[in-house]
Structure 1
């Protein structure tokens, strides 16, 4: 079997982590099995679908590296195909026109609920042998309904949930085309999955109730249903279903907040799937390990702290050059001219071990690109004790004659501390303040390497003369 999977979102303006997980797993399954991954845009909801929302979906997937083999394929561009199948179904008796008005349908449902019955269409316009249908009302465009099988059950072996059985008596005759001829979601999905030869449908378990209807339509059309895998819901950190309404962040928000795509992908992978105790892994490892058997059956809960921890791991272990390239846009947003000052790659390499996001690196980098501080006499007096000035003078000389390496500067500090009988903080804090007008910096020997010997000596000299 040549594996073909799909991600089929509705472009309604927002794509959060739970949505993207529904793209990640079919993508990984296709890649693991050297199959095809297809993006299908289900845009038949004309009132809510926008091209802007489509662009958000495509950019989000591209940012995560979820490459496509086919698509995006738009349902609205396939309307003629759907209408052709509806016509064939009418001609073959698989579907029929229903003239029941919305008011009549509402009255029927109200009556059924009053009788404590399940609300459902009663088959009034369903043609049966020997049955006389009501007279066709004038000027009414009918909906088209699928003739759902009567009796028996729909049974499928869900790759996540196990065997599921739904009685056909629970299903009424589904509307497959609206009065204006526009096809409905459950019908389009079936035609698309058949035409695109989809072998595995991996999607959220909010679609479980749609599956028996889709299977019945597909079988009626002579198709073979794909293998279904319904993923448990993703809950937010409050235990509610993740959604925009419940405060979920869009993928674009995470990108703007300085998260790395590798960290997001790793996090999403673990949000309902596992491989032993592996917590941090590459995209290639994930694809190599992925199978449907390892998908979890319980709802996964979003954990912002875990995501931030993962992002830190990826930043900490990233190649400094690649990390610098990813950080530059954030630095530029803060007004930093990364070309006017120390080597930005070295600055990023210095800051990355302490940062959780790219924004934190950019904010930390500001120190190295600000002009040398113009300290007042009062600032110098308050932050650089007179008793330390002789040690600072010796330190300037030691730095001048040392190697421009972390080890060289560390040796210079050690030599001066020993001579003046000082502890490291007593000297390092005034040095930090002289260099940057703050005492909060990374390790001072590493800072000197990045700032540069000449610049460091210039700044220190200002406070000792």
Structure 2
């Protein structure tokens, strides 16, 4: 049997970190078994579902690289199928009409709570029986599933082990509203059946839904998939992950300069492990992932760990891969890369220090455009009159060379220091400030090579003029 999993978000908000991890686990389980992964949009909550949220979910899935084999399916386009199955249960007396208004149900619930009874729907309550007996066929009603009254629902969760819920704890849930629209718990079952879902991987907040859904599978004569419920993710402070922890949208992590493979690597380790290994390629995740190795305990989100991983991926990934995602940030910062080196070369030069793609973009600006002014601290320290001789000589040597290779540029700097009988730092630091405007950059030979001869010579001239103006003002 082909393993088939699904990710089925409700489009009432963005794709957040918890949802992304669930999608990743579901995706990995399918891929690790050579199976298929289905994307389904559960949009039966028409009032709260929005197209904006649908678009954000699809964008987030694509950015993470969690490609789907089927879908996206939309529940709102399958109402005829759901109603067909509701009518089937009605015909088999596995569902029934209920005419009790919400006001009556609220009244009964209040009575139950006052009597310290379990607050639940009771089809045999005298007031509900009276309303149903007095109703006419043309009166608005809901359709309720006739849940078994005896025995228990038992299932083996692939993460949590055996779970058993007594049927007496489950009431007769509504499967079609009075406006004719089917409800979540019913639609899910029909969808999983029709789509051949074999494994349901979802958050622990759905554990209470599972026994209800299992009873519906059985009533329909549908195969029951295996279930795996993932624990919640906590924030850095140990509280449930929320907007104040930055858990607004997966795309926020793109906006903050994270690579998708870094976020995926981080998310897979939020509850799953393989020995002490921290860094996993996508193929390693597929090959090693097992649901039974997912922890039952909640996981704490650690931003510092994510930053460390992001820096690792910026440093070690193919520069083409990094450059592909860096381009978006260059555009956001209005850095035009047409007048400068290839973005891959800049990635190679700057990746070591960058924790995020925002930092990488910001620190690359001087490769593509002129800086407005020298960094005040760097200029005060290194663009002093004593540095003028070194800058004049190195400018002359660079102007005269036709070999703008990294090796030759290194030799030019070294020859300048030798000729002046000073240490490399006496030449290198003023030169660095001259060509970048600041006190930090990759190695000078690489930096000069990427900036190019004409601009490098012109910037050194600008630094010399800065020193001369400083001398004249003294």
Same fold (TM over 0.5): yes
Instruction: Name 2:346's counterpart in structure 1.
Output: 347
- Asked whether the 8 Å contact 2:157–2:229 carries over to 1, the reply is yes
CA distance in 2, matches of 1:463, 1:169: 83
- What stretches of structure 1 of length at least 5 have no aligned partner? none
> 2:390 touches 2:426 (CA, 8 Å); kept in 1?
no
Q: What's the offset of the Cα at 1:446?
A: 2.0
Q: SS state of the match for residue 422, structure 2?
A: coil
1:335 and 2:347 equivalent? Answer: no
- Residue 289 of structure 1: aligned partner: 288
Matches within 5 A, 1:56-455: 56-124=56-124, 135-138=133-136, 140-244=139-243, 247-371=246-370, 383-399=382-398, 400-401=400-401, 403-455=403-455
Shift of residue 157, structure 1, vs aligned partner: 0.7
- Contact 1:272–1:296 at 8 Å: present in 2 too? yes
Q: State the SS of the aligned residue for 1:9.
A: coil
Per-residue CA distance 1:144-181 (angstroms, 9 max, x = gap): 11111112111111100000011111111111111122
Secondary structure of the corresponding residue to residue 59 of structure 2? helix
Following the alignment from structure 1 to structure 2, what is the Cα–Cα distance between the partners of residues 88 and 99? Answer: 20
Structure 1 stretch displaced more, 236-245 or 309-318? 236-245
Question: What whole-Å deviation, never above 9, does each CA across 1:78-136 have from its counterpart, x for those lacking one?
Answer: 1111111111111111011112211111111111111111101122379xxxx998522
Partner residue, 1:27? 27
CA–CA separation in structure 2 for the residues paired with 1:77 and 1:341: 50
Q: CA, structure 1 residues 461+358, in 2 after alignment: closer, same or farther (shift >3 Å)?
A: same
Change (3 A) 1:462 1:203: closer
Q: CA offset at residue 383 of structure 1? A: 4.8
Query: In 2, Cα distance between the equivalents of 1:443 and 1:458?
Result: 19
Q: Classify 1:464/1:80 alpha carbon distance in 2 versus 1 (closer, same or farther; 3 Å).
A: closer
Report the alpha carbon displacement of residue 463 of structure 1 after superposing the two structures with TM.
Answer: 4.7
Q: Aligned-pair RMSD on alpha carbons? A: 2.5
* C-alpha displacement of 1:301: 1.4
SS in 2 for 1:434: helix
Q: Residues 457 and 111 (structure 1 numbering): CA distance in 2 closer, same or farther, change over 3 Å? A: same
TM, length-normalised to structure 1:
0.92
Alignment TM-score, normalising by the size of structure 2: 0.90
**Change in 2 beyond 3 A, CA 1:246/1:304:** closer
Pick closer, same or farther for the CA change 1:205–1:464 going to 2, 3 Å: closer
Q: Post-superposition, which runs of at least 4 consecutive aligned residues in structure 1 deviate over 6 A?
A: 372-375, 379-382
Question: Cα gap change, 1:372/1:123 in structure 2, threshold over 3 Å: closer, same or farther?
Answer: closer
Displacement, 1:315? 0.8
